[in-house]
Amino acid sequence: MINIFGSVVIFLSFNFVKLEVSPNFRKCIDDFFYQKTAPKLKGLVGSTQICQRLGNLYYYATDYDTTNRIPYYSAYTLSFDRCGSRYNGWFVEPQLATKNDPSMVKISRANNNVATFGNKQAVNVDYTGSGYDRGHLNPRLYHCYTEDSRKATNTLTNIAPQVPSFNQRNME
């Protein structure tokens, strides 16, 4: 079993300057960023930092563009163990829809629409018929700790549109 204790940050932008850190993001900075330092990006529109939580545990960090509804980056602790099966459910972040709950909410028929959550984040209907897959910035494959750590990667704030041929095979 090989574990790499460090952090991986995947960027969609490489402009560096200061970001304001949201109050609950401190936990993520301490746990998921190299030398406890988050990237400082400039020129971001609608930037919101999210400490990705499922239940009572934090699993990774995301800087999310609430204007264009796409992530700027995801930071997490990397594990190279192969583990667990795929989880087919999807989550949204209620705190982006001005709800007080800081934990992810599973998408259901009742909340899978733009009116409920989609003003500031992508929802499943954004991908229906688009020709794009939901591509993980932070893939499930690197979360071997628990089943919930793998489930937590299935939030749409961790997803960017991806060409199906890139998304439908395992990352090696």
With b for 16 or more beta-carbon neighbours within 10 A and e for fewer, the 139-155 pattern comes to bbbbbbeeeebbbbbbb
pLDDT value of residue 130: 93
Average pLDDT over residues 32-55: 86
- Written as one letter, the residue type at 159 is I
pLDDT in tens, 47-92: 888 888 888 888 889 999 888 888 999 998 877 666 767 778 888 8
pLDDT value of residue 172: 55
Domain assignments of the chain as residue spans, ordered by start:
3-167
pLDDT at 9 over 70: no
pLDDT value of residue 131: 93
pLDDT value of residue 129: 92
In sign, the C-alpha dihedral spanning 7, 148, 54, 137 is positive
pTM strictly above 0.85: no
pLDDT in tens, 106-129: 877 766 666 777 788 888 888 889
Parallel, antiparallel or unpaired: strands 159-162 and 70-79: unpaired
Average pLDDT over residues 91-101: 77
Average pLDDT over residues 14-26: 48
pLDDT in tens, 139-164: 887 777 778 888 888 888 898 999 99
pLDDT value of residue 132: 93
Alpha carbon distance 158, 52 (integer Å): 9
